[in-house]
Structure 1
Amino acid sequence: MRRFLAAVVLLTLPSTALAQTPCLKRAEAEAITLVALPDIILETGRVCTSLPATSLVRRTSGPFLDRYQAEADRAWPAARAAIAKLSDPRVSMLLLQSEYARPLITALIAPQIVGRVQTSDCGTIDRLVTLLEPLSPRNIAGIVVASLQHLKSEKARGTAAVRDVPDLPVCSAAER
C-alpha cells in the first residue's frame, strides 16, 4: 500500500517537462488550506498530548471540527482544481477524480506541517487556536495564506529569519 501511495504522489507532482511551476492564487491556496485544516488540527492534537483533553486541538469531534469539516467539503472542488494546476496534466485529472485523492492529499499535507511542531510549541498553538476559534474557517484559511505570502516575500528579500521556509507555490500578494 505504501508503494502505491508513493507512486500516486510522484504522479501528482509537477512534471519536470513544465518550464516553471505555476503559483496558486489566493483563492486556490485558501481552498487547499481549507481542505487540509481538519487533518492538520487532528494531527496537531496527536502531537500535543501534553495539552488538556478539552483543548480545541485535542478534540477529535464536536462543533469546532464539524465547522472545519463542512468548509473542507465545500472547498474540495476548488482545491482539486488548484492541485490539478500544479500537477502533471497527463495523470492529475484521472487521479484527482478518485475517491481516494482527497484523503491521500490531506494525509500527505498534515504530517508535513505538523511534523515541524515541537511539544514546546503546543501551549502557544493552543492559545492561538483558542483566540482564533470565533473566526470562520474561511477567515483562518485567509490568515494562513496571507502569512505564507508574507513569508515568501520576506524570503525573496533575503530575510535571514525565514531562510528555512519551504518554497511554496503560492503567488506573492502582488500576483493574486
Structure 2
Amino acid sequence: MRRLAALLALVATPAGAQTRCVTSAEAQAFASVAMPEIIRQTGRVCATALPAASLVRRANGPFLAKYDAEANRAWPIARTAIVKLSDPAIEMLVQSEYARPLITSLLVPQLVGRIAVGDCPTIDRLITLLEPLPPRNTAGIVVATLQYLKSEKANGRNVDVPDLPLCAEGR
C-alpha cells in the first residue's frame, strides 16, 4: 500500500506542471493502452444487460488481441507522456513491468464506473461498429471526441468532460 501511495504521489502533477499538456498522439497512446481493459471491464459491467455472444462481453479472442497488440505498441509513448506530465523522478518507476498494470488499474475503474447498465446496448452497438477499424483509429476517435467536448466546455456549454491536459492543436 505504501508503494502505491508513493507512486500516486509522484504521478500527481506538481504545482509547476499545471501548464504541461499532452499532444493528440500522446493522448491517443494513453487511450490505446487503456482500451483493452476498458473493453474487458465494460463487458463485466454489462454482463447482465447483454447476451453472452455480444462483442463487448468477449474477454478474449481476435478482437481484444488486436487491442492488446496496439496497447503494447503504444505503451512507450504513453510512458513518456506520463513522465512529461509528472515529476521526472517517476521515470524509473514507469520503466517497471508493474507500472502499466498499476496505471490502468487506477484509471479504468474511474471510466467504467460511470457506465449505467441501461447504456450497455448502446455501448455494444458502438463497439460493434468500431470493430472493423484498427485500434489506433478507435483511440483517435476517443481523443478527437474528448477534444471536441473539451472545446464545447470551454465555450460555456454544460458538458461533463474531465479536465484533461490536452495541448491545443498546433502545439
Give the TM-score of the pair, scaled to structure 2.
0.94
Q: For residue 149 of structure 2, what is the amino acid of its counterpart? A: L
In the superposition, relative to structure 1, how do residues 19 and 6 fare at CA in structure 2: closer, same or farther (>3 Å)?
closer
- Which residues of structure 1 form unaligned runs of 5+? none
Q: What is the rounded CA distance, in whole Å, between the counterparts of 1:14 and 1:74 in structure 2? A: 25
Of 150, 161, 165, 1:169 maps to 165
In the superposition, relative to structure 1, how do residues 6 and 51 fare at CA in structure 2: closer, same or farther (>3 Å)?
farther
Of 154, 157, 164, 1:156 maps to 154
Find the residue that maps to 1:53 and give its secondary structure. Answer: coil
Q: For residue 138 of structure 2, what is the amino acid of its counterpart? A: I
Partner of 1:63: 62
Of 15, 24, 27, 1:26 maps to 24
Q: What is the rounded CA distance, in whole Å, between the counterparts of 1:39 and 1:175 in structure 2? A: 31
Tell me, yes or no, if the aligned pair for 2:146 and 2:161 is still in contact at 8 Å. Answer: no
Q: What is the rounded CA distance, in whole Å, between the counterparts of 2:19 and 2:111 in structure 1? A: 21
Q: For residue 25 of structure 1, what is the amino acid of its counterpart? A: T
Describe how 1:100-139 pairs up with structure 2 within 5 A. Answer: 100-139=98-137
Q: Percent identity?
A: 65
Tell me, yes or no, if the aligned pair for 1:48 and 1:58 is still in contact at 8 Å. Answer: yes
Q: What is the rounded CA distance, in whole Å, between the counterparts of 1:170 and 1:141 in structure 2? A: 14
Cα deviation for residue 175 of structure 1 reads 3.8
Q: For residue 22 of structure 2, what is the amino acid of its counterpart? A: L
Q: What is the rounded CA distance, in whole Å, between the counterparts of 2:31 and 2:72 in structure 1? A: 12
Q: What is the rounded CA distance, in whole Å, between the counterparts of 2:128 and 2:17 in structure 1? A: 43
Cα deviation for residue 21 of structure 1 reads 3.7
Tell me, yes or no, if the aligned pair for 1:35 and 1:75 is still in contact at 8 Å. Answer: yes
- Which residues of structure 2 form unaligned runs of 5+? none
Q: What is the rounded CA distance, in whole Å, between the counterparts of 1:151 and 1:41 in structure 2? A: 21
Q: What is the rounded CA distance, in whole Å, between the counterparts of 2:151 and 2:18 in structure 1? A: 18
> Hey, which bits of structure 1, 4+ residues long, moved more than 6 A?
none
Cα deviation for residue 26 of structure 1 reads 0.6
Give the TM-score of the pair, scaled to structure 1.
0.92
| Count of aligned pairs | 170
TM-superposition CA deviations, 1:97-144 (whole Å, max 9, x none): 111100011111111111110001101000000011100100001000
Q: What is the rounded CA distance, in whole Å, between the counterparts of 2:41 and 2:8 in structure 1? A: 20
Partner of 1:84: 83
